[in-house]
Structure 1
Amino acid sequence: MSSSPPETETYEVTLSRDERWVVHYVVSNRLDDALDADETPPEWILEVLETVETGGETDRFTGTQADRLYDAVTAYVDREETPDRDVSDGSTVLDRLEDVRNARA
């Protein structure tokens, strides 16, 4: 039985500075949670974090990264205590990630 080849196709996602901040915040919290639990953080978290820290206005994510990021940002946006400005920027991020999901369908 052979394993699937690694996903190499990437998709452009344009993020404003504030949208990038929301992504960074969400992913950083996931990283901290894993480290606090003495777990190795999932690789997608490290990859997304590196992408948003080194990217310009346009970031490139694999489909899997976009899917996982979509789930993480959705959980953050849906929290009652999330600030309104983050909900707005996070919702825009979700719209952009939804475009990636639709492009893959």
Structure 2
Amino acid sequence: MSSSPPETETYEVTLSRDERWVVHHVLANRFDEALDADERPAEWVLEAIETLEADGDTDRLTAAQADYIYDALAAYVDHEETPDRDIDHGAAVLESLEDVRDAQA
């Protein structure tokens, strides 16, 4: 039986500029939706935005962050109003995040 990785364990995810933009867009929308609802944005959203905005080509995400981003991005990619260019980049990010999920198993 395998145990879950510790919360502080991180995984490297390398994103292109366009892929990073799509993830940032999804996270910023989550942030704005929380503020519009007079709620505090989820901590994982803030942490993930900070990670994406840090310098460097490789992002280090915790397993939980990767899971949250995966779920939010999958919903965005499946939305019928999402532009095709975002779907392509979003799908590439989903593949990268699936690698993180596999590493957790």
Normalised to the residue count of structure 2, the TM-score between the two structures is: 0.93
CA–CA distance in 1 between the matches of 2:16 and 2:75? 20
Where in structure 1 are there 5+ consecutive unaligned residues?
1-5
CA–CA distance in 1 between the matches of 2:104 and 2:7? 12
Q: What percentage of aligned pairs have identical amino acids? A: 69
1:72 alignment partner in structure 2: 72
Alignment of 1:34-45 (within 5 A): 34-45=34-45
CA–CA distance in 2 between the matches of 1:57 and 1:83? 25
Normalised to the residue count of structure 1, the TM-score between the two structures is: 0.93
Where in structure 2 are there 5+ consecutive unaligned residues?
1-5
2:100 alignment partner in structure 1: 100
Matched, 1:57 2:57: yes
| CA root-mean-square deviation | 0.8
2:87 alignment partner in structure 1: 87
Q: Kindly provide the amino acid, as one letter, of the partner of residue 69 in structure 1.
A: I
2:28 alignment partner in structure 1: 28
Instruction: Compute the displacement of 1:56 (Å).
Output: 1.6
Deviations 1:39-90 (A, max 9, x none): 0111000000000011421000000000000000000000011010100000
Q: Which runs of 4+ in 1 moved over 3 A?
A: none
2:7 alignment partner in structure 1: 7
CA–CA distance in 2 between the matches of 1:76 and 1:33? 14
